[in-house]
Amino acid sequence: MARFHLGCPTYLNLKRMTCLFLPLIVLASFSISPVSAAQRPAKDHPNIVIVFTDDQGYQDVGVFGSPNIKTPNLDQMAKEGVRFTDFYAAQAVCSASRAALLTGCYPNRIGIQGALGPQSKIGINAEETTIAEVVKQQGYATAIYGKWHLGHLPEFLPTRHGFDDYFGLPYSNDMWPFHPTAGKRFPDLPLIENETIINPKVTGKEQAQLTTWYTERAVAFINQNHDKPFLLYVPHSMPHVPLFVSDKFKGKSDQGLYGDVIMEIDWSVGQIRQALKENGIEENTLVIFTSDNGPWLSYGNHAGSALPLREGKGTAWDGGQREPCIMAWPGQIPAGSVCNEMAMTIDILPTVAYLTGEKVPQDRIIDGKNIWPLMSGKPEAKSPHDALLFYWGGHLNAVRSGQWKLHFPHAYRSLKDKPGADGTPSRYVQKKTGLALYDLSNDISESKNVADQNPKVVKRLTVLAEKARADIGDTGTKRKGKNNRKPGRVD
């Protein structure tokens, strides 16, 4: 394979200059909820494994109600750990969602929105601290095998942001010349190892091996680092379209190619957990499985299902952002438990920081909070969030607080007619919603507007929204936030 160097692979520990003191902001920030030291797990420096799929629907796991996709490994993981029923991605699109997971911040705060493409000149800012950089302060080995999507230029690659090892695609697997609707907008799709392009022209043949390759790399990393603490991040390229699967799972599912792809991802989770067992480190490893956003419904049989949620990817309805989430850690997370409290991917960094004995960045606002009490089954544990924010781009579409979710007037995309088929999408149409309040405890599908019956709830959630608008802005009300930060940029 041809090799093209993108830059120096050395990770710079001193990549950020000391920032100005922001005492008022820090004091007012979304701080970690207090948890006594006695509640910290006895295990020192636990390993962390995060499996992050792409465009997977809420229903696309057996324990989340899939009628015809078999996921025995994920189902077993749920039996041995906790299933979160109300867990959200931070925005219903690729780059924004990943930025939130890795920094613990709403993507709007750090200037990453939408899905960055091959022509993008922006990426994650060097001044942001990723989850990999947090644990490296405790001596962790770190690796990412899969889709990055936070900037493809050398300055933005994972090896510049705390990861020791990287293998995967720099952005979505449909950003290539064979995209069904993009014409000649995309160049050839590269496969990168660390900072070197090892295949400048990925084809369908290689795409069919991506899930296997990511898994093999993940297992090898575990075998090589079993005697030291590590963070392993596996952001699968699938089931984002175009769908590809290896021969070992082709034709295996009752739900066609999409089901085959999910079954292979389930196999991948099984391989990773088996490697932990074989190395005798399962009881010192937290494994987290979730997805970046809901299904791309216009692709029909090449998309998943968000049922019983409303809509899908690209919307602030729960079908766009509520995701299947399973976490397991033998002896620390109660087996077979279910958490119905709301949480979000922004909470993973602060929680991992707490569990590894590290602090979250102290010089900037971090929106996520420590959810270990929820994960560990602490009696009467509640979500540490007064509210979760649902943005589409820069527009604050909705706010959730407890059982209530308030949508503000906004446009959203919905299928125009029938969904597409076999890799060709159908068209969307723009719909609009007015002010609408939903009681998610009784109406998971966001179908019955109860705003008129609950004016006090509407008022309370509107106040929470106003705080968000002052903090990080809202293009819907033409508000600029006071505490936004800029992305990295290459002129």
Cα 35 from Cα 434, distance rounded (Å): 40
Catalytic one among 105, 149, 152, 385? 149
Residue appearing with tokens 């006895």 = 42
CA-CA distances (angstroms) from residue 426 to 237, 243, 300, 321, 417? 22, 16, 8, 21, 8
- Does the active-site annotation cover 339? no
**If we measure between CA atoms, which residue out of 325, 421, 403, 353 comes closest to residue 130?**
353
- DSSP H helices in 235-309: 256-278
Q: Which helix (H) or strand (E) holds 98?
A: helix 94-103
Cα 424 from Cα 426, distance rounded (Å): 7
Catalytic one among 8, 19, 94, 240? 94
**In contact, 326 and 79? CB cutoff 8 Å:** no
**If we measure between CA atoms, which residue out of 280, 375, 370 comes closest to residue 334?**
375
**In contact, 93 and 108? CB cutoff 8 Å:** no
Residues 6+ apart with CB under 8 A from 390: 88, 91, 316, 321, 396, 397, 398, 399, 400, 405
The total number of residues written for the chain in this structure: 491
- Does the active-site annotation cover 19? no
In the chain, % helix, strand, coil (3-state, to 5) comes to 25, 20, 55
Q: What does DSSP assign to residue 361?
A: P
Residue appearing with tokens 């709403």 = 106
Neighbours of 32 (CB within 10 A): 21
Residue type at 480 in one-letter notation: K
Q: What does DSSP assign to residue 291?
A: E
Which residues carry out catalysis? 94, 149
